[in-house]
Amino acid sequence: MPVIPELRVYEPHEIGRDGYPFAWHRDGTGRSESGIKHHVRDLAGHRCVRCHHPYRTGQSSPEWSQCDYLCTHGTPVRIALPRGVDPLIPDYEDFLDGHHGHLIFNGRMVTAGDMASMAVVWARWRVLTVHHLTGVKADCRPFNLCALCQRCHLEIQGRVNMEQLYVFEHSEWFKPYAAAWYALKYEGRTITLSQAGQELDRLLSLERMV
């Protein structure tokens, strides 16, 4: 059984040359594929917590990975319709745009998940990563680590600043992370995402009371 790594702030002597804790890559027994990053992806069910795209390491090609009905992301995707299904479906515009284009139904962009019941859909470059929300690699506390596909990772990295005061409504997927962060920021408590979920409304209100 792999040893569950400690989710905490790591000291300089515990950090490798790549800037990550040694525990990021492997567990306490030295086993690879059992470190913090693997643990976080496992807790997320091996899918992006934001767009819900599923991904497991070891797939034949990291560039394209198959979607399922839970996916909420848009393009770029490629689609293989079942044999006998006409790709020129009524009410669709640009349904197949070079097999990688926009999916539009009745003027509305549809998601890969919308299509998964009638076609095989693959998304491009949605390899699952683990993002440090504060940007501090040594800080491996639960609020700081979220499993995100490459595209969501880049988008969140460019938009989210944990130190910045934010009094508006958070996205549903982000609320447990924000709540756990506020527990630390305003109450000095380090809690798990599960614990944050149990106090969600109260903790989220802390930022709005400032």
pLDDT digits (tens, 9 = 90+) for 82-140: 555 555 443 333 444 444 444 555 555 667 777 666 677 888 899 999 999 999 999 99
Give me the mean pLDDT over the 15-26 stretch.
Answer: 93
> HSE (CB half, 13 Å, CA atoms) of 72?
8
Band of the pLDDT at 59, cuts 50, 70, 90? confident
Spell out a b/e string for 109-131, using b for 16 or more CB atoms within 10 Å of the CB, else e: eebbbbbbeebebbbeebbbbbb
Distance in angstroms (rounded) separating the CA atoms of residues 157 and 32: 27
Q: pTM of the prediction?
A: 0.84
Going by C-alpha positions, the residue among 151, 182, 194, 183 that lies closest to residue 50 is 151
